[in-house]
Amino acid sequence: MIALLVAAGLALAGCSAADPAPEPAKEQRTSLTVGVVGSLTSFNAASATGDTAANRAVSALLDEKLGSLDGNLQVVPNNGLGRITRVEGDPLTVSYELFSDRVWSDGTPVTLDDLLFGWAVTSHFFDDATYDANGQLVSGTRYFDTALPADPNARTTRPRLDRANDTLTLTYDQPFADWNRQWLLDRPVHVVAQRAGVSVKDLLTAILTVPEGDPQAPVAPNPVLAAAAQAWNTGFDVAPGTTPDPAGVVSSGPWTVSEITADTLQLARRDSYQGAHFPGLEGLTVRFFPDRAAQLSALEAGTVDVANVGDLDVAEQKTLTDAGFTVQVGPTSETLQLRFATTTASDLRQATTLSLDRSSLVQDVLGAVRPNAQPLQSFLSSPATGQLYNDLVSGNGAPGTGADVNAARSALNDRAAVLRVAYDTTDPTSSLVFPRIVSMAAKAGIAVRAATATEIPDATLSWVGEDESLYRSARDRIAEGIDGGDTQELFDDLTTHTDPVDVLSEAKLIDRSLFAAYAGVPLLERTGAVVSAAGVGGVTYTSEPNGLPPAFWTWSPPQS
């Protein structure tokens, strides 16, 4: 009996199901898709026609330079490509060193010749153009049509080349605060020469020998420089309805363009890249959308992994977070300020400033999306610049953030006043802020009303795109409205500083001068949002409106 049971057991064992086969390993993702609003119109985002948010996003991926901006818009040196060194302060002398084994994506070495060409583009050294009050060319030649105008404080002598040590040296005509933001590396000189129909040798010879331009004595344009400028100005543009050959897109960064369609750009990691920004991803897709609504829809549909979506409202933010997205919200460099006209009486400027409860205004307008938002405390910068802003507002003379109605009435000797304000009625934020200014100022006897089209306004409520550079931000702000008695003199001093600590100290004094003169009222900054899909790593916030989130080389795909 026992033998029969054993036999039966053996028979049953022989009929039992085999162990299940192991599940095939899931394929790991090696790429991400980033969504950008706009269309690709040029591979030269530094040109006047190519300077769009979409083109700048592509440039941030393809065009490696000797520096970049972090999420707080501060300069980060790219020590994987070379070095920029301030050799001497007076005269300001700056050297550029390139590492010898760096190559463009087509295999051509990146050399001092590329830096020399970049200097020719950005310096406008050869221009002898004269312009009218509207900025239109009157006489002479403007060679390279850059998006940023030539800065009069950035003039240098012709560069000196030391090929034995791979260095290019610039000597400035005068000290220049923004010397560390002059990165020079631009379009590859060999590609520009080819598209211009000139030799690289002839182009470099022209850059090294053609005399400096003099608007007082314009001459016939140099044909080699003119051909190169034309190629630079428009030769990298993408004509509507056309698809460029990916092989013609030469990059200095770690990506090469593998495919281009009407609304996508496929990037592949290139093994020849030797810099410090080698990405963890093997590929990256840039998808272009006609508007922000389409970009948000693609995020929600799961076809985009990373995007800078700008100023979210409460409902949009909740939809994304409920769907598992990481939403990083913060300040941007775009600030809303009330700036008084030069003709506005000082007592009215003072009274209006004292009448505004900026704390409650900021909470009313921004609190739902960004509860930690605080009133803006500088004319020259914003929280978008991180620690730089914190250092600036410490001791810059910024007033309190609440209202002092009694002091406002005293400034006017208790008389009634009218303040005519110009503002953009189509802008949602301005339309929220303006009636609050009306209500607050009324408590001090100031009747604030919108200026008509035929009136000269007493003040303007406007968005200002503050720059990450305190030098440029101060320059642009001083050009608007009323200034303090010594503001221009302080700015002239700021331009001569080449140490960031000294620039910051001078910027504090400029803020003090503007606040003391009641030149205006900084109010708030626009909110931004960077969104990434669940599991996507390494994506950080950027304060640049519509900017590509920084440090793409740290991004990683979801792990299954």
Q: Give the start-to-end residue ranges of the domains of the chain.
A: 64-235, 246-329+528-554, 332-525
Which residues are registered as beta bridge partners of 362? none
Please state, rounded to an integer, the average pLDDT across all residues of the chain. 93
Distances (CA, A) of 482 to 88, 460, 487, 517, 518: 36, 12, 10, 8, 9
pLDDT band at 12 (very low <50, low <70, confident <90, very high): very low
pLDDT band at 482 (very low <50, low <70, confident <90, very high): confident
Q: What's the pLDDT score for residue 10?
A: 43
What is the distance between the alpha carbons of residues 93 and 175, in angstroms, rounded to a whole number? 9
> Which class for 412: exposed (0-12), middle (13-18), buried (19 or more C-beta within 10 A)?
buried
pLDDT band at 399 (very low <50, low <70, confident <90, very high): very high
Compute the chain's Rg from CA coordinates. 29
pLDDT band at 7 (very low <50, low <70, confident <90, very high): very low
Q: What's the pLDDT score for residue 134?
A: 82
Helix (H), strand (E) at residue 15: helix 2-15
pLDDT band at 478 (very low <50, low <70, confident <90, very high): confident
Q: What's the pLDDT score for residue 341?
A: 95
Q: What's the pLDDT score for residue 405?
A: 97
**Mean pLDDT of the 364-372 span:** 95
For every residue of 312-353, DSSP letters joined together read: --HHHHHHHHHTT-EEEEEEEEEEEEEEE-TTS-HHHHHHHH
What is the distance between the alpha carbons of residues 95 and 2, in angstroms, rounded to a whole number? 95
**Mean pLDDT of the 293-321 span:** 95
Residue type for position 342: T
Domains 64-235 and 332-525 share a fold: no
Q: What's the pLDDT score for residue 8?
A: 44
Residue type for position 69: L
Please determine, for residue 54, whether its predicted confidence score (pLDDT) is greater than 90. yes
What is the distance between the alpha carbons of residues 123 and 117, in angstroms, rounded to a whole number? 10
Share of the chain above pLDDT 70, in %: 95
> In which order are the strands placed within the sheet that holds 326-340?
255-260, 264-269, 283-289, 31-37, 306-308, 520-532, 326-340, 459-465, 417-423, 446-450
Q: What's the pLDDT score for residue 184?
A: 95
What is the distance between the alpha carbons of residues 451 and 74, in angstroms, rounded to a whole number? 38
Which backbone phi and psi does 166 adopt, to 5 degrees?
50, 50
Chain segment 73-88, per-residue pLDDT in tens: 999 999 999 999 999 9
Q: What's the pLDDT score for residue 5?
A: 41
Q: What's the pLDDT score for residue 143?
A: 97
CATH fold for domain 332-525:
Dipeptide-binding Protein; domain 3 (3.10.105)
Residue with the larger pLDDT of the pair 250 and 25: 250
What is the distance between the alpha carbons of residues 284 and 265, in angstroms, rounded to a whole number? 8
Produce one character per residue of 294-333: b if its CB has 16 or more CB atoms within 10 Å, e if not. ebbebbeeeebbbbbbbbbeeebbebbeeeebbbbbbbbb
**Mean pLDDT of the 315-344 span:** 95
Q: What's the pLDDT score for residue 28?
A: 82
**Mean pLDDT of the 218-231 span:** 97
Q: What's the pLDDT score for residue 4?
A: 41
Chain segment 123-150, per-residue pLDDT in tens: 999 999 998 888 888 999 999 999 988 8
**Mean pLDDT of the 237-255 span:** 93
Residue with the larger pLDDT of the pair 514 and 559: 514
Q: Which CATH class is domain 246-329+528-554?
A: alpha beta
Chain segment 273-294, per-residue pLDDT in tens: 999 999 999 999 999 999 999 9
Q: What's the pLDDT score for residue 135?
A: 83
Domain 64-235 indexed as CATH 3.90.76.10: yes
DSSP collapsed to 3 states, 120-133: HHHHCCCCCCEECC
Please determine, for residue 17, whether its predicted confidence score (pLDDT) is greater than 60. no
Q: What angle do CA 163, 168, 174 make, to 5 degrees?
A: 155
**Mean pLDDT of the 208-232 span:** 97
Do residues 466 and 333 make contact, with C-beta atoms less than 8 angstroms apart?
A: yes
Chain segment 418-469, per-residue pLDDT in tens: 999 999 999 999 999 999 999 999 999 999 999 999 999 999 999 988 777 9
What is the distance between the alpha carbons of residues 2 and 248, in angstroms, rounded to a whole number? 84
Tally of helices (H runs) and strands (E runs) in the chain: 16, 18
pLDDT band at 19 (very low <50, low <70, confident <90, very high): low
Share of the chain above pLDDT 90, in %: 86
Please determine, for residue 15, whether its predicted confidence score (pLDDT) is greater than 90. no
What is the maximum alpha-carbon separation in the chain? Answer: 121
Q: What's the pLDDT score for residue 392?
A: 96
**Mean pLDDT of the 222-239 span:** 97
Chain segment 34-53, per-residue pLDDT in tens: 999 999 999 999 999 999 99
